[in-house]
Amino acid sequence: MLRTFLNAFRVADIRKKLAFTAAMLLLYRVGAYIPAPGINIEAVEDIAENFQGSNVLGFLNLFSGGSLQRFAIFALGIMPYITASIMLQLLTVVVPALDKLRKEGEVGQQKITQYTRYLTVGLAFGQSIGYVFLFRTFSSGGAEVVDAFTFGTVFVIVMTLTAGCVLLMWLGELITQRGIGNGISLMIFASIVAGLPDGVVSWWNNPDQVFKVIMPFMALAIIAAVVFMQEGQRRIPVQYAKRVVGRRMAGGGSTYLPLRVNMAGVIPVIFAASLMAFPPTVGELIQSPWAQDVATFFNPSGWAYLAGEAFFIIIFTYFYTAVTFNPVEQADNLKKYGGFIPGVRPGRPTAEYLDRILARLTFPGALYLAAVAALPTILLNQTSANFYFGGTSILIVVGVALDTMKQLEAQLMMRNYEGFLK
User: Mean of the per-residue pLDDT values for the chain?
Assistant: 79
- Predicted local confidence at residue 168, as pLDDT: 92
3-class SS string, the chain? CHHHHHHHHHCHHHHHHHHHHHHHHHHHHHHCCCECCCECHHHHHHCHHHHCCCCHHHHHHHHCCCHHHHCECCCCCCHHHHHHHHHHHHHHHHCHHHHHHHCCCHHHHHHHHHHHHHHHHHHHHHHHHHHHHHHHHCEECCEECECCCCHHHHHHHHHHHHHHHHHHHHHHHHHHHHCCCCHHHHHHHHHHHHHHHHHHHHHHCCCCHHHHHHHHHHHHHHHHHHHHHHHCEEEEEEEECEEEECCEEEECCEEEEEEECCCCCCHHHHHHHHHHHHHHHHHHHCCCHHHHHHHHHCCCCCHHHHHHHHHHHHHHHHHHHHHHCCHHHHHHHHHHCCEECCCCCCCHHHHHHHHHHHHHHHHHHHHHHHHHHHHHHHHHCCCCCCHHHCHHHHHHHHHHHHHHHHHHHHHHHHCCCCCCCC
Of 104-108, 218-222, 376-380, the poorest mean pLDDT is in: 376-380
9-31 residue pLDDT tens: 777 888 888 889 999 999 999 88
- Predicted local confidence at residue 261, as pLDDT: 84
Domains of the chain (ranges plus CATH)? 1-198 (1.10.3370.10), 208-383 (1.10.3370.10)
173-227 residue pLDDT tens: 999 888 888 888 898 888 888 877 777 777 777 777 777 787 788 778 878 887 8
Band of residue 386 on the pLDDT scale cut at 50, 70, 90: very low
- Predicted local confidence at residue 387, as pLDDT: 45
Mean pLDDT computed over 360-385: 76
114-165 residue pLDDT tens: 999 999 999 999 888 888 887 777 655 555 667 667 788 888 889 999 999 9
- Predicted local confidence at residue 247, as pLDDT: 65
- Predicted local confidence at residue 394, as pLDDT: 78
Whole-structure pTM value: 0.76
